[in-house]
Amino acid sequence: MFPNPTSTKGFRRMKGYMFKFISGKYQGGEFPIPMDSELIIGRSSDLEMVLAEEMVSRKHAKVITKNNKIVLQDLGSTNGTFVNGERITIYPLKTGDRVLIGTSIFKLVEVEEADASQSLDKKRDIKSRLQAITQAKKTITRTYAERISEIPVIDILQLYQTTKRTGTLSIRSTQSGKIFLREGAIVSACIDDDFSVNPYKALFRILAWDKGTYHLEPLTLNEFPQEIDQTSEAVLAEGKRQLDEIIKLPRKFEYASKIHVKVPLEPRLRDLSPDHLDTVQAVMNYGTVEQVLNHINAADYEIFHDFVYLLEHGYVAIAEE
């Protein structure tokens, strides 16, 4: 039995750590980590931390705790152990690190832990707790929604690539997005079910979302108007690069904002580069930031740079909301 969390009688409070399951069949489960010990994670039923799924090896990984430090070591598992999307052999964990083993994702969190003498009771009960979570989830037909603030979309895509997941990653933020996966490969993407937009553009915009939720649904579409033909590794690397470029911009742009050419127009059009002229024409034709981005065959961050130049030099203006 767990002690009453509101009572401290008879306990010495101290800093502790636990693994909090944030994705997969054990989502919602918590596993307290005993200090100054070794903990084996795997599929074998005689282990302290059992992850009962096919992609987990019988003895998959080991957690070593000593001097208030926590080290995760892969034990030569078939499908690997991953920390923050990177495959590891041995890795010193820090608070907030996300671990992928099989299809389960858990995060290292710091907690106010009771005296270590209570750890044995928790270890005895943890298997039944995780099993209860799994049984409860069998009655739920829809996958739990993950928070982007917990696991960014780009990280979950890397994990799904590793586990070769097939499905539709449905994202809800200020807009709705979908990323389509086939055996871990990203095959297409769209925002607000608009397949007319280049799927690379849609994907890179979704990767930049920092708020909202997402969940994995079955893949119901087999063909798409436009497909992503690069490897997922290359696409995600480019997505990270473009996101870094957007972060460096001197200002942010809201996709729904209205943008227009200034009237009267004082600076001369002939002083603009061909790319800037294309952007001015798109502003005249479409009138919103998002539609301008959709109709120019260039990366969003490049068009944002055009916006910055045109705003600073008095060619365009953005309507104040």
Phi/psi for 41 (5° steps) reads -110, 135
- Name residue 189's beta-bridge partners: 179
pLDDT in tens, 232-287: 999 999 999 999 999 999 988 999 999 999 999 999 999 999 999 999 999 999 99
- The token duo for 214 is 């997402």
Q: Which residues contact 190 (CB under 8 A, 6 or more apart)?
A: 177, 178, 197, 199, 202
**Residue 183 has what pLDDT?**
92
pLDDT in tens, 113-140: 554 444 444 444 555 555 554 444 443 3
pLDDT in tens, 66-81: 988 999 999 999 989 9
Alpha-helix residue ranges (DSSP H) falling in 71-118: none
| pLDDT greater at residue 227 or residue 122 | 227
How far apart CA 225 and CA 188 sit, in angstroms, is 9
Helix (H, G, I), strand (E, B), or coil: what is residue 306?
helix
Residue-wise DSSP of 157-192: HHHHHHTT--EEEEEESSSEEEEEEETTEEEEEEET
Return mean pLDDT, the chain: 85
**Residue 200 has what pLDDT?**
97
**Residue 264 has what pLDDT?**
95
